[in-house]
Amino acid sequence: MKVALTTLGCKVNQFETETMEGLFKQRGYEVVPFEARADVYVINTCSVTSLGDRKSRQIIRRAHRENPQAIVAVCGCYAQVAPDEIKAIEGVRVVLGTKERAHIVDYVEKAMQEDGIQGTITDIMKAKTFEDIPLYDSPERTRAFLKIEDGCQNFCSYCIIPYARGPVKSRLPEHVHREAEKLVAMGFKEIVLTGIHLGAYGRDLPGDITLADACREVLSVPGLKRLRLGSLESIELSPELFALIREDERFCAHLHLPLQAGSDKVLKDMNRHYDTQEFARLIEHIEEEVPGVAISTDIIVGFPGETEEDFEQGLSFVEKMNFARMHVFPYSRRTGTPAAARKDQVDEAVKKERVHRMQALADRKAEEFHRSFIGREMRVLFETAKDGITDGLTDNYIRVYTDEAVDCGEIYKVQIDKLWRDGVWAHCVH
């Protein structure tokens, strides 16, 4: 039997798809590309934006057209918050939300034997424990994502994720260590810790367990070359974490800290738990604690009620920050969230124009950051090769390209020569 899997959305979703792929392989299924004809199609959906919902529906329909006799199994955030919409799509035979994925093969095989739609959507708000699915296999890559936390209780006014993922649930530290050992044994040089609300890791566990404890578990694994953190809230960075980043050279000097808006009024409307002054102080403190750190961020443009003055304040604030990379998104209305019910929605044309202006600033800030490293020596974990050019990442998340003979999956010392594409060009230093 052949199974094809695909992922929409975040790195957490990507990791979860890899665990499900391992479950199918354990049962003897052959994993094939999603474009190929398969007996089972698994679509791990995203619901962060309305575009994610639409793409999910399109992919489900495409899978059914490719093989009308195949079992189409849909899981993830969109399936959790809108299961009836998923069930109404022709060809869908299994629907799971953001739990019960450990049993996906059982549900698929039940669908092969019985008519109707299989699966279950549990009340995610009552879920209290981390769904700990062992990683049996992983596609060949140089960086491995390791999910250690699920759920979020921040309830930002624009976000559907707390309703899709439920409360904070943390992976036990000893299980974090076990999975990290497995990934290093597979040959991965870098592990990226991910979670829906990563900085909340440990809050649901007995004792004073924190994200720093999970990091120590991974760093204690022999053979690990790099540890990187996924997205964090700036107000959740602890002195313990700073000490680890500063003292262990394997800990990547790169933090992704979502700002979301550079206007205090908009931040308050978003139900974010800081203002711009507090955020700026935190960033200044980080830069003092970890010299040379790269800070990337997310910005939402066109939130309901955002005036031109609010947006200009945001541009001005971002201009003062030393962001290495910015992900700019137009606000997306999510039914069921407080922001979606507001009457002062920003016109789509205005949102588009503001995204363009913020993205232009983001591109300039990234170029300034990259330019500051020209002439410097750095270490790069090379990842992919195409048409004689190999690229990879520095520990502070600069994309580096070279045409020299380097092996993917290995770390090399290079010297940065010039700006190139979305990063820099470099040569090896022997």
Instruction: Return the CATH number at 216.
Output: 3.80.30.20
Is there a single domain that holds both residue 182 and residue 307? yes
Residue written as token pair 């665990």: 19
Return d(Cα 335, Cα 409) in angstroms, integer: 43
Is there a single domain that holds both residue 186 and residue 117? no
Which amino acid, 395?
D
Tell me whether residue 134 is in a domain: no
* HEC-encoded secondary structure of 112-126: HHCCCCECCCCCHHH
Tell me whether residue 136 is in a domain: no
Is there a single domain that holds both residue 360 and residue 403? no
Tell me whether residue 383 is in a domain: yes
CATH of the domain at 74: 3.40.50.12160
What is the extent of the structural domain holding 211? 143-371
pLDDT digits (tens, 9 = 90+) for 274-331: 999 999 999 999 999 888 899 999 999 999 999 999 999 999 999 999 999 999 999 9
Which amino acid, 96?
L
Radius of gyration of the chain (CA): 22
Is there a single domain that holds both residue 176 and residue 307? yes
Report the predicted TM-score, pTM, of the whole model to 2 decimal places: 0.89
pLDDT of residue 99: 86
Return d(Cα 83, Cα 96) in angstroms, integer: 8
Tell me whether residue 135 is in a domain: no
Return d(Cα 51, Cα 341) in angstroms, integer: 19
Is there a single domain that holds both residue 164 and residue 99? no
pLDDT digits (tens, 9 = 90+) for 236-259: 889 999 999 999 999 999 999 999
Return d(Cα 29, Cα 37) in angstroms, integer: 14
- Beta bridge partners, 254, equal 294
User: Distance from first CA to last CA of the chain, Å, rounded?
Assistant: 48
Split at pLDDT 50, 70, 90, the class of 139 is low
Q: What is the mean pLDDT of residues 263-274?
A: 97
Is there a single domain that holds both residue 217 and residue 328? yes
Could you tell me if 347 and 332 are in contact, meaning their C-beta atoms sit under 8 angstroms apart? no
- Beta bridge partners, 118, equal 94
How many domains are contained in the chain? 3
Is there a single domain that holds both residue 391 and residue 356? no
Is there a single domain that holds both residue 153 and residue 81? no
Is there a single domain that holds both residue 25 and residue 148? no
Return the closest-CA partner of residue 298 out of 339, 338, 267, 343.
Answer: 267
Is there a single domain that holds both residue 351 and residue 397? no
62 Rama class: left (phi>0) / alpha (psi -120 to 50) / beta: alpha
Is there a single domain that holds both residue 283 and residue 382? no
Return d(Cα 12, Cα 230) in angstroms, integer: 9
Phi, psi (rounded to 5 degrees) for 241: -65, -45
How much of the chain, in percent, has pLDDT values that exceed 70?
A: 99
Among residues 122, 154, 188, the one where a domain terminates is 122
